Amino acid sequence: MAVKHLAWAWAFTIACAATLWATPVPAEVADKPVKIVAFGDSLTAGLGLPATDAFPVKLERALTVKGHSVAIINAGVSGDTTTGGLARLDWSVPEGTDAVILELGANDALRGIDPKVAAKALGEIVRRLKQRRVAVLLCGMLAPPNMGSDYARAFDAIYRDLAAVNDLVFYPFFLDGVAADRKLNQADGLHPTAAGVDVIVARILPKVEDLIGRVRAGS
């Protein structure tokens, strides 16, 4: 009799386990949020805009609508240069961060800072993040035309070369589709309006999804 009871118990246990295995686990339980830091200057911070219209907020909203579980921190500092970003990297990107959207360099170009200085700072930022196993999406920037062709050639190449050498997810120009468009920029002609941020988010979204994919894959 005891043997029959034992056999029944095993059968019941196996049946329950099979039911549990066959039940899909909700995505929100299976996938914990990917923690992303948007690390940049005023273009990331959202200068001149309500906090709810800043790039990191709108990006998180767009990703959530597409079914991604993410938490994005706005670590944009207005006026920041690549050297300034390097100086604050450790406290701006806390432990537990899975990925960084790196958007720096616009102020370097506007101030005519030597491209070699910017390249060195960005390279060190990437090196430290990779050392911490943080995935990186590098956002490129283009030098303004008034800086001259030699400066522009040296500056613009920083991002392409850095992305290639380090196998980073790369978005060539953060202001693609927005730069020089009066309807999408504030009165200063430099910072996007809320509608401009929408354009940036829509265009960069596939690259951010690639970044999330790398995090999920553990690469």
Over residues 183-213, the pLDDT tens digits come to 999 999 999 999 999 999 999 999 999 999 9
Average of pLDDT values for 172-185? 98
Tell me, yes or no, whether 1 lies in a domain.
no
Q: Is residue 20 situated within a structural domain?
A: no
Is residue 32 in a domain? yes
User: Which bin fits 38, alpha (ψ -120 to 50), beta or left (φ > 0)?
Assistant: beta
Average pLDDT, the chain: 89
Residue 191 lies in a domain: yes
Which band of pLDDT confidence, cut at 50, 70 and 90, is reported for residue 93? very high
For residue 198, give the amino acid letter.
D
The answer to the question of residue 11 being in a domain is no
How far apart CA 45 and CA 42 sit, in angstroms, is 5
In a domain, 14, yes or no: no
Supply the residues annotated as catalytic: 42, 188, 191
Q: Residue 5 domain-assigned?
A: no
User: When comparing pLDDT for 171 and 2, which is higher?
Assistant: 171
Question: Where would I find the H helices in the chain?
Answer: 2-22, 27-30, 42-45, 55-65, 82-92, 106-110, 115-131, 149-166, 194-217
For residues 7-15, average pLDDT: 39
Nearest to 75 by CA among 21, 27, 150, 129: 129
Q: The domain that contains 73 carries what CATH number?
A: 3.40.50.1110
pLDDT band, very low/low/confident/very high, at 6 (cuts 50, 70, 90) = very low
The model's pTM is 0.86
Which amino acid is residue 209, in one-letter code? E
Residue 147 in this model has a pLDDT that exceeds 80: yes
Does a structural domain hold residue 13? no
Q: Are 78 and 42 in contact (CB under 8 A)?
A: yes
Query: What order do you get walking across the sheet with 70-76 strand by strand?
Result: 70-76, 34-40, 99-103, 135-139, 169-171
H helix or E strand, kind and range, residue 101: strand 99-103
C-alpha to C-alpha distance for 100 and 42, rounded to whole angstroms: 16
**Tally of domains within the chain:** 1
Q: Which residues contact 191 (CB under 8 A, 6 or more apart)?
A: 42, 43, 47, 48, 49, 185
User: For residues 72 and 103, what is the distance between their CA atoms, to the nearest angstrom?
Assistant: 14
Q: Look at residues 150, 162, 164 and name the one whose alpha carbon lies nearest to residue 104.
A: 162
| Contact (CB, 8 A) for 125 and 82 | yes
Structural domain of residue 170, as residue ranges?
27-217
Beta-bridge partners for 40:
76, 103
> What pLDDT is stored for residue 219 in this prediction?
53
